[in-house]
């Protein structure tokens, strides 16, 4: 009862999984335990939650199992299995370096809504040579309670997602209907005021403010698109570009700033879109590998021309490049030439590099 209550005490799925394996190991006095979560195909492990191993051992072992050998037995045939010594089983793969030795084994599947969610793996029965029939019965019963806890956590997560999506849609609507309209009105008012300015300096400052407002509107539109994309689960070109940009955050060490102009998803064809994505990937890769930058600005526009502009504040292009250098730049240039477009990479004002790529919209 304590084990069942403990795994039902949380609605966060990650916490529930950890509670399940902790409770299972405690219930049958196992020294080590793991909960392997199956991937979407149901043929290998996508997640591996453990108990009994300290952080140092985890790091020493390295990559976690994917479901081969003994662990794969329950994937192929989801039925409880007990072994007196897993090392002697013909399907045993052995242990990787730094892995603690293990002997007795008990494995039980977790079935959620008639589908195998994952498997409980318990090893090294303490106080006995092997796991008993009672241990197996207890673990099977706990797996049933675990299935309920997992389903509850999933439903809670879905409910939270629905609430979040509603909030995103509301925020996007408010930004579009209120904030952007006010910024437009302020910009028009400033433009009218600029014509009344008595000195060129004042007029120039007002014009700078108008341009700043225009950039702000572009950023807000990008935010609105991001909110709407999350709500609609879009898979258009903008969404794929944002996915690529988010993936670049790791190698770069920071999140690039991005703005979109025009109907990217409707005006850019699949062929140009593929080359645009490849060019953006190459540009971000170059920044990550060579620029030592702390900021990247990306602008994508769809009008008479489809354009991509990537600017960083790094150390710039090397002055002593050789003929064989710059394969990535040549690739980006050839992608533009294929559609009768243009490409350039030059030093940016104030330091860094600006990469510009564009092709005619008719392509």
Instruction: Tell which wins on pLDDT, 134 or 169.
Output: 134
Highest mean pLDDT among 73-77, 78-82, 243-247: 78-82
Give CA–CA dist 120/114, Å, rounded: 17
φ, ψ of residue 78 in degrees (nearest 5): -70, 75
Q: Which helix (H) or strand (E) holds 198?
A: none
Instruction: Tell which wins on pLDDT, 4 or 199.
Output: 199
The pLDDT confidence band at residue 324, using thresholds 50, 70 and 90, is very low
- How confident is the model at residue 358, as a pLDDT? 95
CA separation, residue 274 to residues 87, 110, 177, 331, 354 (Å): 50, 42, 33, 13, 21
- How confident is the model at residue 8, as a pLDDT? 67
- CA angle at residue 258 from 285 to 315, to 5 degrees? 45
Per-residue model confidence as pLDDT tens digits over 265-274: 888 888 899 8
- How confident is the model at residue 32, as a pLDDT? 94
Give CA–CA dist 359/196, Å, rounded: 41
The pLDDT confidence band at residue 320, using thresholds 50, 70 and 90, is low
Name which of 357, 359, 361 is nearest 345 in CA terms: 357
Name which of 344, 288, 280 is nearest 314 in CA terms: 288
**Interval 277-282 mean pLDDT:** 91
Report whether pLDDT(352) > 90: yes
Report whether pLDDT(325) > 70: no
Q: In the numeric block, which tokens belong to residue 203?
A: 């007029």
Instruction: Tell which wins on pLDDT, 180 or 342.
Output: 342
Instruction: Tell which wins on pLDDT, 164 or 85.
Output: 85
**Among the four given CATH numbers 3.40.50.460, 1.10.1200.10, 3.40.50.410, 3.30.565.10, the one describing domain 235-363:** 3.30.565.10
Per-residue model confidence as pLDDT tens digits over 40-75: 787 888 888 899 988 888 788 777 777 777 788 888
- How confident is the model at residue 321, as a pLDDT? 56
Report whether pLDDT(132) > 90: yes
- How confident is the model at residue 13, as a pLDDT? 81
Instruction: Tell which wins on pLDDT, 201 or 63.
Output: 201
- How confident is the model at residue 230, as a pLDDT? 55
Asked if 300 and 307 count as a contact pair (C-beta separation under 8 A), the reply is yes
Instruction: Compute how many other C-beta atoms are within 10 angstroms of the C-beta atom of residue 148.
Output: 13
**Interval 325-352 mean pLDDT:** 87
At the top level of CATH, which class does the domain 2-155 belong to? alpha beta
- How confident is the model at residue 194, as a pLDDT? 80
Residues of the chain with CATH 3.30.565.10: 235-363
- How confident is the model at residue 323, as a pLDDT? 43
The pLDDT confidence band at residue 193, using thresholds 50, 70 and 90, is confident
Give CA–CA dist 167/211, Å, rounded: 30
Per-residue model confidence as pLDDT tens digits over 154-181: 787 777 777 767 777 777 777 777 777 8
The pTM score is 0.47
Instruction: Tell which wins on pLDDT, 27 or 98.
Output: 27
**Interval 285-292 mean pLDDT:** 88
- How confident is the model at residue 146, as a pLDDT? 85
Report whether pLDDT(229) > 70: no
Give CA–CA dist 188/324, Å, rounded: 51
Asked if 22 and 29 count as a contact pair (C-beta separation under 8 A), the reply is no
Report whether pLDDT(232) > 70: no
Give CA–CA dist 30/138, Å, rounded: 13
Query: What is the distance, to the nearest Å, from the Cα of residue 160 to the centroid of all Cα atoms in its chain?
Result: 19
Give CA–CA dist 53/142, Å, rounded: 22
Name which of 217, 215, 193 is nearest 204 in CA terms: 193
Q: Considering the chain, what is the average pLDDT of its residues?
A: 84
Residues of the chain with CATH 3.30.450.40: 2-155
Give CA–CA dist 90/106, Å, rounded: 16
**Interval 213-239 mean pLDDT:** 70
């Amino acid at each position: 009862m304590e084990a069942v209550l403990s795994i039902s005490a949380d609605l966060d799925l990650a916490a529930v999984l950890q509670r399940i394996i902790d409770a299972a190991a405690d219930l049958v006095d196992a020294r080590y335990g793991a909960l392997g979560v199956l991937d979407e195909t149901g043929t290998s492990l996508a997640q591996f939650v453990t108990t009994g191993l300290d952080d140092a051992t985890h790091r020493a072992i390295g990559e976690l199992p994917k479901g081969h050998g003994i662990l794969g037995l329950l994937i192929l045939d989801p039925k409880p299995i007990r072994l007196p010594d897993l090392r002697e089983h013909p399907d045993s793969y052995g242990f990787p370096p730094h892995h603690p030795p293990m002997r007795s084994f008990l494995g039980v599947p977790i079935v959620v809504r008639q589908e195998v969610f994952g498997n409980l793996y318990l090893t090294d029965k303490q106080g006995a040579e092997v796991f008993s029939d009672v241990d197996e019965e207890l673990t099977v019963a706990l797996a049933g309670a675990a299935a309920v806890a997992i389903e509850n956590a999933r439903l809670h997560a879905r409910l939270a997602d629905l609430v979040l999506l509603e909030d995103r849609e509301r925020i996007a609507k408010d930004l579009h209907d209120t904030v952007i309209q006010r910024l437009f009105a302020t910009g028009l008012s400033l433009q009218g005021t600029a014509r009344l300015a008595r000195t060129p300096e004042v007029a120039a400052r007002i014009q700078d403010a108008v341009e700043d407002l225009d950039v702000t509107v572009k950023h807000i539109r990008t935010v609105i698109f991001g909110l709407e994309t999350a709500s609609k689960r879009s898979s258009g070109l903008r969404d794929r570009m944002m996915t690529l940009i988010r993936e670049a955050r790791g190698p770069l060490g920071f999140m690039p700033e991005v703005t979109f102009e025009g109907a990217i998803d409707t005006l850019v064809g699949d062929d140009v879109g593929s080359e645009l994505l490849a060019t953006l990937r190459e540009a971000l890769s170059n920044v990550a590998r060579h620029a030592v930058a702390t900021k990247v600005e990306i602008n994508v526009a769809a009008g008479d021309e489809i354009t991509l502009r990537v600017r960083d504040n790094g150390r710039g292009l090397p002055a002593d490049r050789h003929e064989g250098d710059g394969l990535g730049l040549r690739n980006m240039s050839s992608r533009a030439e294929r559609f009768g477009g243009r490409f350039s990479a030059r030093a940016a004002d104030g330091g860094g590099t600006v990469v510009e790529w564009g092709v005619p919209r008719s392509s």
